[in-house]
């Protein structure tokens, strides 16, 4: 979110004056961000205990050696500790029991343990595929939090 600023080559730039004082713009932006964070926090809190499908995007910048970060199929940012987990994508049943660390591009089942205003934090359960995840879950609805 950003405070309003006039953009050249737009209808507003050609036809209107930017007559809102900077302190009013900043106050409005602050109010908007606070309301957004409150509603996001409530939404994220409701996800605690759920198992979510997460596409691994890379290491968590705050703990790159120990945590991975990705996006859930609901569009939420999810962080989890890098640990070896079962690989359900393997063809052979014996290979599925062997564990490996998730890597960028893997889909991982993650149980959500806690939340913040901007992220979810969980534990990795298994490397999976879209089709496996949705065929094995009872809750097939992907509900994104409305803001």
Question: Could you tell me which residues come within 8 angstroms of residue 100 by beta carbon, excluding any fewer than 6 positions away?
Answer: 84, 85, 87, 127
Show the tokens assigned to 120.
Answer: 């979810």
- Note the pLDDT tens digit of each residue in 104-135: 999 999 999 999 878 999 999 999 998 889 88
CA–CA distance, 65 with 60 (Å, rounded to integer):
8
How far, CA to CA in Å, does 26 sit from each of 16, 29, 32, 34, 128?
A: 20, 5, 10, 12, 45
- Note the pLDDT tens digit of each residue in 10-30: 888 888 888 889 999 999 999
């Amino acid at each position: 979110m950003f405070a309003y600023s006039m953009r050249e080559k737009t209808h507003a730039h050609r036809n209107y004056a930017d007559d809102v004082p900077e302190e009013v713009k900043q106050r409005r932006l602050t109010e908007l961000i606070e309301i957004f964070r409150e509603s996001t926090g409530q939404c994220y809190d409701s996800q605690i205990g759920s198992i979510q499908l997460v596409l691994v995007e890379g290491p968590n910048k705050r703990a790159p050696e120990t945590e991975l970060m990705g996006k859930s199929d609901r569009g939420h940012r999810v962080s989890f500790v890098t640990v070896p987990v079962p690989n359900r994508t393997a063809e052979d049943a014996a290979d599925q029991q062997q564990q490996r660390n998730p890597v960028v591009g893997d889909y991982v089942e993650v149980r959500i343990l806690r939340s913040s205003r901007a992220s979810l934090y969980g534990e990795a359960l298994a490397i999976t595929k879209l089709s496996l995840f949705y065929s094995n879950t009872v809750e097939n609805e992907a509900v994104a939090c409305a803001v």
